[in-house]
Amino acid sequence: MSVVVADRLTKVYRVAEKAPGFAGTLRHFFARRYKEIVAVKDVSFELEEGEIVGFLGPNGAGKTTTLKMLTGLLYPTAGRAEVLGFRPQDRKPAFLKQITLVMGNKAQLLWDLPVLDTLRINAAIYEIPEAEYRERVRRFAELLELEDVLTQPVRKLSLGQRMKAELMAALLHHPRVLFLDEPTLGLDVNAQSAVRDFVRTYARENGATVLLTSHYMADIEALAERVIVIHEGRLLFDGGLKALLARFAPYKEVRLELSTPADPGTLAGFGEVVEARGPVARLLVEKTRLTEAVARILAELPVRDLAVEEPPLEDAIGRVFREGRVA
């Protein structure tokens, strides 16, 4: 049985529109105009137990809205959500005790108090036995290297420490389903890596199901084997990461180091120019035309060094959004 079911989820908002300037202000005050915004349309997918799935999309694509519908924070305008056999919007305590939602830009930790105080309240709310609680805190603190930090007020912590502590608080009750919304937002490389490792370890040890949104490709690459791509509220792709790349980004990246800089116009004749800075250039070339392009580059340009690599995921996904449709 699937752990998470999204069945034709749709969410439509009504938003008041305000024109700029003083006239606009007056009209907005006396005769408001409304606009309908379709945030999510007909999104369907299912997650099995233990899967870690990446949820990709540009800002405003509907990722957060979908997560909120799956956690019961939003009621779908149409369609159905089911998690662990529950209807999220019923907000049954049995359901709430088994899930967690982490939002990258918002904190549930009490700001002026040490982390431990928030953890204590959470332990009481989720009815975690005292011994269990202590063990879990110890284990998580060890994994996240937060041992010395737990007694400091949250506002004194760095962003990385805060996020790690946030994760601790969110996972303290050992939820079976994790909804992570941009958990590594704004973190430095070390902190990002620590968060990823922690999520992976936790999921493995507890058999948890994870739905993770991010626009850092490194997160997706590190954690997820399956990705769901959403764009302008619609599902664009649902499958393996490699399949995604094969379908949308059948490219290889050619890195060139030239003895004299070539102008972008010339470079464009060989492939799509990603970057051209002085003697260094990066081009995207279709795999089918790779050999031919490389041969021509070597023949026509003063090449000092040439390397062929997988393109960064960002670029690949970026193309998906620019094209905006499934095949």
**Contact pattern for another protein over residues 202 through 231, marking x by CB under 8 A:** ------------------------------
* Two structure tokens written together for 195: 């968060």
Q: How far is CA 195 from CA 49, 75, 162, 168, in A?
A: 21, 30, 11, 10
Helix (H) or strand (E) holding 58: none
Q: Does 32 bind another protein (CB under 8 A)?
A: yes
- Stretch of 122-130, 224-232, 277-285, 318-326 lying at the interface with another protein (CB under 8 A): 122-130
Q: Confirm if 180 and 102 have CB atoms less than 8 A apart.
A: yes
DSSP state, residue 90: G
- Sole binder of another protein in the list 72, 104, 160, 233 (CB under 8 A): 72
For 1-18, the DSSP string reads --SEEEEEEEEEEEEEE-
For another protein, the closer CB: 72 or 311: 72
- Sole binder of another protein in the list 17, 44, 48, 75 (CB under 8 A): 75
- Stretch of 125-133, 134-142, 218-226, 309-317 lying at the interface with another protein (CB under 8 A): 125-133
What distance lies between CA 289 and its chain's CA centroid?
A: 33
Helix (H) or strand (E) holding 230: strand 226-231
Q: Confirm if 235 and 77 have CB atoms less than 8 A apart.
A: no
Q: Which of 208, 148, 202, 199 is nearest to 177 (CA)?
A: 208
Q: Does 29 bind another protein (CB under 8 A)?
A: yes
For another protein, the closer CB: 18 or 247: 18
- Sole binder of another protein in the list 38, 42, 86, 120 (CB under 8 A): 120
Q: Does 277 bind another protein (CB under 8 A)?
A: no
- Sole binder of another protein in the list 10, 28, 139, 200 (CB under 8 A): 28
Q: In the bound complex, what is the minimum distance in angstroms from residue 151's beta carbon to another protein? A: 12
Instruction: Decide: helix, strand or coil at residue 270.
Output: coil
* Two structure tokens written together for 157: 């912590």
Residues 6 or more apart whose CB falls under 8 angstroms from that of 23 comprise none
Q: In the bound complex, what is the minimum distance in angstroms from residue 228's beta carbon to another protein? A: 21
- Sole binder of another protein in the list 89, 152, 193, 206 (CB under 8 A): 89
Binding site for another protein (CB under 8 A): 13, 16, 18, 22, 25, 28-29, 32, 65, 68, 71-75, 89, 91, 93-94, 96-97, 99-101, 103, 106, 108, 110, 112-113, 117-118, 120-121, 123-127
